Amino acid sequence: MSTTQDHDNPYAPPKAAVLEPASQSGTLIPDGQKVATGRGVAWYGEAWKLFTAAPGTWVLIFIVFMLLSFVVAIVPFIGSLAINICYPIVAGGLMLGCRSIEDGNGLTVGHMFEGFKKNAGNLALVGVLYLVGTMLIGLFIGIGAAILIPALALSGAVNPNDVSSLLTLVPVVILIVLVALALMLPLFMAIWFAPALVVFHDVQPMAAMKMSFQGALKNIVPFLVYGIVGFALAIVAVIPLGLGMLVWAPLLWASIYTSYRDIYLKRA
């Protein structure tokens, strides 16, 4: 039993520092809520607290993640498929790790694999849906490029033997890249919060991706700020021989959790 004397006792064992309560303390808002623009920066600040609670473990998780990704990627064709399908499972485990830190239970490398124990099938299906979406977008862009570039060549606008005329393809290539990014953005928005919604709230994969997209769309301005800050931090991270990525990547993972909590949880 805790007493006032225990509280004042200098010889009492130290208590673990517990951050703000996690997902159990809030009610799910299915479509997400709109937050202030400044939250796009605050998500990184809150994520930094999660990182500094277990910096060594976070760095080790990132190293293990990169090593496993490299090993799996070596397998032709199947490797890239496996990485895309398994990433939401790993992300779900990391979300559980963030909650564990907030609960005062700390973070372990094993949290990387917790998603394989909880809703692994639905998390994998999120990866499958993302992969299918990426392939469809790639197919669309490929068909468009295959039609547009030969058409320019047949029209005489492009001469393969004339270097200066080949420069006319530059705007076309830029246009193709911009279209690809425009098509990929909604897909990124759909998968961003999906692992957290699946692992914490048992939301079905397609519904989770829809909810993720709606929540991100409602907060497009905070996410713009969030993206700019994240890009700036990434530039800083790669300057010291890329070693800063050991911090940047875990910070990004933790910021996904803090932004999910901010957008989808209604506090009691």
What is the mean pLDDT, run by run of 10 residues, along the chain of 268 residues?
44 41 65 94 96 96 95 88 93 96 94 93 95 91 79 63 62 81 92 96 95 95 96 92 93 97 85
Neighbours of 186 (CB within 10 A): 15
pTM: 0.82
**Contact partners, residue 247, CB within 8 Å, separation at least 6:** 51, 55, 58, 59, 237
**pLDDT for 150:** 73
**Residues 197, 66, 47, 224, Cα dihedral to 10°:** -70
**pLDDT for 179:** 86
Rounded CA-CA distance 35/39 in Å is 7
DSSP class of residue 157 equals: S
